Amino acid sequence: MIAALGPYAGFILLSYGAAILAAVGLTLWVILDHRRLRNTLAALEARGLTRRSARSAARLAPETPLETQA
């Protein structure tokens, strides 16, 4: 099959290899980065740190439906 690519098969295969490396590399980068950031954010929130907008939203919204009825 490689021979079917002619005398410059090495150049063609290297080009496609570089493209695969770039696509897989970028995909892994966003996936691993997302996992790391999500874990860090969860750890911070577990320590009781929340964003100002999340705090004000929590203050405005009733915590449980029962509280609303009471």
What is the nearest approach in angstroms of another protein to the Cβ of residue 62?
Answer: 20
DSSP conformational letter for 47: T
3-state secondary structure at position 70:
coil
3-state secondary structure at position 25:
helix
Give 44 or 58: the residue with its C-beta nearer to another protein.
44
Dig out the tokens for 30 from the structure: 């966003």
| Chain residues that interact with another protein, rule: CB under 8 A | 4-9, 11-12, 14-16, 18-19, 22-23, 25-27, 29-31, 33-34, 37-38, 40-41, 44-45, 47, 49-53
3-state secondary structure at position 55:
helix
What is the nearest approach in angstroms of another protein to the Cβ of residue 60?
Answer: 15
